[in-house]
Amino acid sequence: MSRKRIVIAGLGDVGVLTAIRLARCADVVGVSGKPALLSGQELGVRLSRPNDWARDYWIPFDRFRRLDRVRTVHATLTGVDLTARTVFGRRDDGATVAEDYDALVISTGVTNGFWRRPTLQSAAEIGADIRAAHDRVSAAESMIVVGGGAAAITSAANMAITWPHKRIDLYFPGERALTEYHPRIWNRIQGRLTDLGVGLHPGHRAVVSDGFAGDEITSEPVRFTTGQPPASADAVLWAIGRVKPNTDWLPRELLDEHGFVRVTPELRAPGHQGVFAVGDVAATDRLRSSARNRGDALVARNIRAEFAGRRLRTFRTPGRRWGSLLGIQADGLEVFFPTGHAFRFPAWSVDRVVMPWIVRWGMYRGIRVNRPL
């Protein structure tokens, strides 16, 4: 019996993990606009300490041991024929790509600011983008961060840690930030931001034009719909959570009214056997939480079950967001749970246990020693 072929559309955080889990049981093809895993996590570390960020979140595909069996295609996705079971794409030289599949995993994620875009890029272009954003922020004597989610919080905190003499102000629309997390998490983070000297401005809803997605660092004054006077700084970072699913290449029948991929509790596209979606692109729940709660493991397990004619399992959501908010710091790594409680890994354990054993071997099944891109 011939081996099944699985196409994974999108090799971001979840797509790479899914490919790793499936590589031994099928012929896996991954289609990505990037030549590497370019994570959307830890924006604050990316802006303030780009070399540290790149070590852990910008990893060429050939460094993953379990991706040796995966054929990666560097191309932009352009369409899919659900009847013929074929995915189409376009390479940077204009050549077309057509990949047949027995199972398709849609993990193309979302566009969310300049740090999460589906554009076709080379390693040199990625590096230039990362350095340009860092240089822009580094040169500013004052910063405004607009937004109340994790990206805004990590950015304000990490910039304050890296540049303690820079004036940094955080503006968010509600009474508190991090509304998708347990309230006690904001209480803890609020104290940390205050200690770092970040100016906190609740109840400020910024004016955002319809066509603006927060995909650039600006310098114009920020105006508010809530009646406060405009605020000015040398640079303004927009982390407003205006996400757009990367699904322009998919037929409307697969999508909900917001453009996300409709899925059953088993993470399968309803009415389309062999088509699954996982990560931020999948309309699992309000938080699209399969991106952070082992959705990759469930999809891989359900694809194998479907091939074997076994029962598929369902995805369960935690109800609240959780995880690291500030990233790795000099004093270690703090991880928050859905209950609002936190656990801190001391600095020595991050370097000797968490990253080498839990992440690089436990999650990714082995990452080769870094080498120049």
Note the pLDDT tens digit of each residue in 154-181: 999 999 999 999 999 999 999 999 999 9
State pLDDT tens for residues 332-350. 999 999 899 999 999 999 9
pLDDT at residue 373, rounded to an integer: 38
Owner of token pair 């037929």: 251
CB count within 10 Å of CB 24 equals 10
Band the pLDDT of 319: cuts 50, 70, 90: confident
pLDDT at residue 91, rounded to an integer: 97
- pLDDT over 60 (residue 142): yes
State pLDDT tens for residues 97-137. 999 999 999 999 999 889 999 999 999 999 999 999 999 99
Quick check: do 5-117+244-323+347-358 and 123-238 share a fold?
A: yes
- pLDDT over 80 (residue 304): yes
Nearest alpha carbon to residue 216 among 208, 224, 226: 208
Whether 309 contacts 298, CB under 8 Å = no
Give me the count of residues in the chain.
373
pLDDT at residue 42, rounded to an integer: 94
Least confident interval from 27-31, 63-67, 206-210: 206-210
Band the pLDDT of 372: cuts 50, 70, 90: very low
Least confident interval from 138-152, 219-233, 283-297, 349-363: 283-297
- In sequence order, the 6+-apart residues with CB closer than 8 A to the CB of 174 are 148, 202, 203
- Which stretches of 43-142 are DSSP H helices? 43-48, 50-57, 123-139
State pLDDT tens for residues 238-278. 999 889 999 999 999 999 999 999 999 999 999 999 999 99
Burial of 273 (0-12, 13-18, 19+ CB in 10 A): exposed
**Which phi and psi angles does 307 have, rounded to 5°?**
-60, -35
pTM of the model: 0.94
pLDDT at residue 210, rounded to an integer: 76
- The conformational region for residue 192 under phi > 0 = left, psi -120 to 50 = alpha, else beta, is alpha
pLDDT at residue 103, rounded to an integer: 98
DSSP strands (E only) in 120-266? 142-146, 167-171, 199-201, 235-238, 244-245, 261-262
Q: Where are the domains of the chain?
A: 5-117+244-323+347-358, 123-238
Owner of token pair 């379990």: 66
Tokens representing 288?
A: 């699209």
Alpha-carbon span 299 to 18, nearest angstrom: 7
Q: Mean pLDDT for the chain?
A: 94
Region 27-53: mean pLDDT is 96
Whether 180 contacts 287, CB under 8 Å = yes
% of the chain surpassing 70 pLDDT: 98
We find that the CATH architecture of domain 123-238 is 3-Layer(bba) Sandwich (3.50)
Alpha-carbon span 44 to 237, nearest angstrom: 11
- pLDDT over 90 (residue 16): yes
Region 300-314: mean pLDDT is 96
Whether 292 contacts 321, CB under 8 Å = yes
pLDDT at residue 370, rounded to an integer: 65
% of the chain surpassing 90 pLDDT: 89
Whether 238 contacts 254, CB under 8 Å = no
Region 186-209: mean pLDDT is 95
pLDDT at residue 286, rounded to an integer: 86
Least confident interval from 15-24, 238-247, 287-296: 287-296
Fold of 5-117+244-323+347-358: FAD/NAD(P)-binding domain (3.50.50)
